[in-house]
Structure 1
């Protein structure tokens, strides 16, 4: 992601003394082949004991054996979650099937997978961040599952997840679990300011009023929000806007709705002025700063914030007692909105055993397996039929609120998303740093997009 912003721009309303905005790269270069920085956890899965002389041989791929390589993000799902599926496959095929489960840190994962795909050494199956699917689809190496929609009851997925896994009408993945973006606030700060600590403001004007009341710099700022295209999706959706045309070829973010959405950043950091003096962007420690009380609210953040709170030693009970969570406020005349993230299972058509891989994908994409994965990981399920599955939701904070939010979910476009983010990020930062009007900034981003696509 490119987060660079020109240093020569003159501020419109006030001067911010800053060292300058530097580019931040979230993805590190990875190695191809099997080294890749991932952690192999397959142990001796591929070791067979030969008869007769009592010797031992190791086969990774023979006519009678197949090792399915699966790649996932570090620290989310685990090999043992898939062991029963491998056992089922072994009962169906006259082949000794084993699982090579690999984990890669999130920051390295996209580049490592793209390097392997480009080198003809793709894994069989991977859990891929939905916003990366467009890049892999363009490689021509993703397996199609359009003929499996009925087998996995594709209609059961929430509508907000479907566009990301369907490219040009072709089904190329299955949503696993998700997250939502909403507003967090410190209940005690909101209460002391005379507002309801159990309910967030619904409109931007109400949010601005709250933010200014709790703004007490430099101890506490009224709000903290990251300036980035992904975060900006929620104001954009709530204003009725979209990033691109349906085919992903034409910018739509520079519409009147987009200009209204960009004014959200302008208000927080400039016209209403209740954010920190330096706008937040790039790789920032904002979650822990919010938890520590630097910001009274944060209007667009992912539902994984509880992970950081637990790292600070807080229990679920303490988290819910101290913080509130709900929908991000929307503009007057706008609509409630959130943005769904999460990973999707995808497979590569370079596999030696497409029959086994397709069977594996069918089994892990069923409603029951989605239920299991959501339950053991504590992640939000992607299927409507699991809204009433109490065992899934018992470990998810603000579960009833999140269930309601799923109905308002939208996703970022996966086609040309890397280009969208690279042109939008610096222009949104210029708005936040008071160096460009929202309309001018978005028109600049739209022109850069047209020049690159």
Structure 2
């Protein structure tokens, strides 16, 4: 489960890999060629066990209510976009597919997706969280529905914090009382002083394609990656503050030295093994952690500096531009993004809704509902300008450069000045600015 769910947060980097590979045999195709049966949709997705069960239930409900047939094709994430790219090229793509918000910009900018402008009224658009509707839009045009989202918060091992003399009865629980960077550093310093060398205060979940989660720290500092025209903004005092603070994680031995953007061990694994006392982790991993963890743990809001911020996880559902029946495809997307369907899906999977009517405690989460208000509250820190940057068609290429440059800064001694200058140049090249 963790592998497929975690992959929803790669934020576009999979596309670069996918474009270099050929299609895999055995991957079911689509109905985009125009030869599909009447009232039949093809829907391709990857899914965890809980997600697949939820998709199957909702597909059955849609079929019963609409009289249509939906052919659900669940595939490994590793194959997903390689094959979608090949099928789009051959005109045999599925009518509907799932895509993370980072990858969506690549497809929408190439006119490969169905324009949904005529299928949603202004009132229906306003029902979505503005940042999430921004996530499915390109040049102001919606090319999908924001099906769900996922954000990171800070998980803590209560026993390990108590052993370090930290009062666990006064831990922050909301954005209003979230730790500042300075307060978070004090906690990390206290933990480091009390722990054996083989344990660490915390770990950040920016490994293996998650490098864009570093931008949470940039946004917290009040900085930006680029402006709306793609002009780099990262080489700035705010960029320097974010880089210096995150570099201190390694200089102060607050994080495992191998847990860099190119590391191969995920943050949730290090937390479950009690190698770290705290971990930045997305809500989609709560079910796994609840099953495996044999210690008492809870969730806290991420630290904040000039503002609160977090990562943009989750996925949209999109229809291809040459779907056999665009109206039916749009009807299915509208159904999946309805209050009842979204509440059911998110509640079963510990993922977060994108409709404002489902904010707060409106969704009944199946596992550890006591933790989910922290993630729900954390999601409110995502601002539309953050989303616009994270869904840029250039973000995949930028992410590759970020992985290289942050690795050089964190473990190879590259200066803040050189790192920011290199990132600035990479953004300019990727956006053509």
Q: TM-score, normalised by structure 1?
A: 0.79
Q: Kindly indicate whether the alpha-carbon contact (under 8 Å) linking 1:327 and 1:337 is maintained by their aligned counterparts in 2.
A: no
Shift of 1:24: 11
Q: Size of the alignment, in residue pairs?
A: 392
Task: Map 1:14-163 onto structure 2 (within 5 A).
Answer: 31-32=22-23, 35=25, 37=27, 61-62=36-37, 65-75=38-48, 76-77=51-52, 78-90=55-67, 97-150=68-121, 153-163=124-134
> 4+ residue stretches of structure 1 with deviation over 6 A?
23-26
Closer/same/farther in 2, CA of residues 238 and 193 from structure 1, 3 Å limit? same
The answer to whether 1:286 aligns with 2:279 is no
**Alignment correspondent of 1:435:** 413
Q: 1:438 to 1:308 in 2, by over 3 A?
A: farther
Residues 203-247 of structure 1: per-residue CA shift (max 9 Å, x gap):
122222211221234331122224553221211111112222114
Following superposition, the deviation at residue 88 of structure 1 comes to 2.5
- SS at 1:82 equivalent: helix
Q: Does 1:372 align with 2:344?
A: yes
Q: Separation in 2 of the partners of 1:145 and 1:443?
A: 39
Q: Distance in 2 between matches of 1:27 and 1:245?
A: 26
1:225 aligned onto 2:204: yes
Please state if 1:244 is matched with 2:226. Answer: yes
Aligned in 2, Cα 1:181/1:418: closer, same or farther, shift over 3 Å?
same
Offset at 1:329?
A: 1.2
Match for 1:193 among 161, 164, 180?
Answer: 164
Cα deviation code 1:387-434 (max 9, x no counterpart): 355553454451222232222124323321101101111111111114
TM-score by length of 2: 0.82
Pair 305,424 (structure 1): closer, same or farther in 2 beyond 3 Å? same
For the residues of structure 2 that align with 1:366 and 1:250, how far apart are their CA atoms? 37
Q: 2:393 aligns with which of 415, 427, 434?
A: 415
SS at match of 2:201: coil
Query: Relative to structure 2, which stretch is displaced further, 260-269 or 156-165?
Result: 156-165
Aligned to 1:424: 402
Distance in 2 (CA, whole Å) between partners of 1:376 and 1:194 is: 37
Structure with the bigger RCO (C-alpha within 8 Å, sep 6+) is: 2
Gaps of 5+ in 2: 1-12, 173-177
**Partners in 2 of 1:378 and 1:284 — Cα distance?**
23
1:234 to 211, 216, 240: 216
Residue 342 of structure 1 aligns to a residue in which SS? strand
Aligned to 2:320: 348
Q: Which structure is larger by alpha-carbon Rg, 1 or 2?
A: 1
RMSD in angstroms over aligned alpha carbons?
A: 2.8
Q: Which has the higher helix share?
A: 2
Q: How has the CA–CA distance of structure 1 residues 383 and 213 changed in structure 2, closer, same or farther, with 3 Å as cutoff?
A: same
Match of 1:325 in 2: 299
1:446 aligns with 2:424: yes
Structure 1 unmatched runs, 5+: 1-22, 41-59, 91-96
